[in-house]
């Protein structure tokens, strides 16, 4: 297996047995790991170490995971974040996505799935060599090579996931994409994981683009982008 996107992953997790399991699977896939057991140390390490990604538990001693990502994003730190949540924390998961998390897994989870999700997030953040080109829709211009977006002339900062979601819609303007299709295309997994993730990210992209947003809801089906 290639390790082209390997690097240091910051894991902020207070349950040691879970952290040890994550460490083992990350090492198998060529990643290094720095562990923090609480949110305050996690935030400091994110600033100091510049990891390639952060695996962040929501429930942490002291500063929780939501406060960690809220602070990082407010500082302009867009390191990819994969949330770890309990099954009964749906409201927190949604808030985490709204704050800029790229994806999440719920406990108990498969460590293999966690690493696979991590690699997907990293691929999105890195872009692809053949992604050169420009997409336009109304006042929105996407530079695929540089992964930059402008809306009515102003630069808009999107997470890697938000960028790929917008590009999926703009590549085929007028086509109605079901939530299941977008989940498969952008996140790389099936609707069994829940399509609420798509709705939250679409809402975030629309909010950032403002009046320039070309995204339209097709009731009962999904989303489309006006040309």
Instruction: Examine residue 205 and state whether it is found in any structural domain, yes or no.
Output: yes
Is 1 a member of any domain? no
Q: Quick one: what percent of the chain has pLDDT higher than 70?
A: 92
Which range of 61-75, 120-134, 191-205 scores highest in mean pLDDT? It is 61-75
Which residue would you say has higher pLDDT here, 1 or 36?
A: 36
- Show the domain range for 44: 8-126
Task: Give the helix/strand (H/E) hosting 151.
Answer: strand 148-151
Is residue 127 pLDDT above 70, yes or no? no
Give first-to-last CA distance, the chain, whole Å: 40
Residues 99 and 200 in one domain: no
- Tell me what the mean pLDDT of segment 192-205 comes to: 82
Domain CATH code at residue 108: 3.40.50.2300
Instruction: Say yes or no: 147 and 79 in one domain.
Output: no
Claim to verify: residue 78 and residue 96 sit in the same structural domain? yes
- pLDDT category of residue 128 using cuts at 50, 70 and 90: low
Mean pLDDT across 11-25? 92
2 belongs to a structural domain: no
For position 194, what pLDDT does the model report? 63
- State whether 115 and 187 are in the same domain: no
Residues 199, 217, single domain; the answer is yes
Residue 179's nearest CA partner among 219, 144, 123, 127 is 219
Predicted structure pTM score: 0.69
| Cα separation, 98 vs 96, whole angstroms | 5
- Residues 91 and 165 grouped into a single domain: no
**Which pLDDT band, with edges at 50, 70 and 90, does 120 fall under?**
confident
Provide the number of structural domains found in the chain.
2
Residue 29 reports pLDDT greater than 70: yes
Residues sharing a CB contact under 8 Å with residue 78, sequence separation 6 or more, in sequence order: 100, 157, 159, 160
């Amino acid at each position: 297996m290639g390790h082209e996107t390997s690097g240091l992953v910051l894991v902020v997790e207070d349950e040691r047995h879970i952290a040890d399991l994550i460490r083992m699977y990350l090492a198998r896939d060529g990643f290094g790991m720095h562990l923090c057991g609480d949110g305050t140390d996690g935030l400091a390490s994110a600033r100091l170490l510049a990891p390639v990604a952060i695996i962040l538990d929501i429930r942490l001693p002291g500063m929780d995971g939501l406060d960690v990502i809220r602070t990082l994003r407010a500082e302009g730190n867009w390191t990819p974040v994969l949330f770890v949540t309990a099954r009964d924390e749906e409201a927190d998961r949604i808030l985490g996505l709204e704050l800029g998390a790229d994806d999440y897994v719920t406990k108990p989870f498969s460590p293999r799935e966690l690493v696979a999700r991590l690699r997907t997030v990293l691929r999105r953040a890195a872009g692809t060599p053949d992604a050169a080109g420009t997409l336009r829709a109304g006042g929105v211009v996407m530079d695929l090579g540089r992964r930059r977006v402008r809306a009515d002339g102003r630069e808009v900062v999107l997470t890697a996931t938000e960028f790929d979601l917008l590009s999926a819609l703009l590549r085929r303007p007028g086509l109605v994409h079901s939530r299941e299709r977008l989940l498969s295309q952008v996140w790389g997994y099936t609707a069994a994981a829940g399509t609420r993730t798509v709705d939250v990210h679409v809402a975030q992209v629309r909010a950032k683009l403002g009046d320039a947003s070309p995204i339209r809801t097709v009731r009962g089906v999904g989303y489309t982008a006006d040309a």
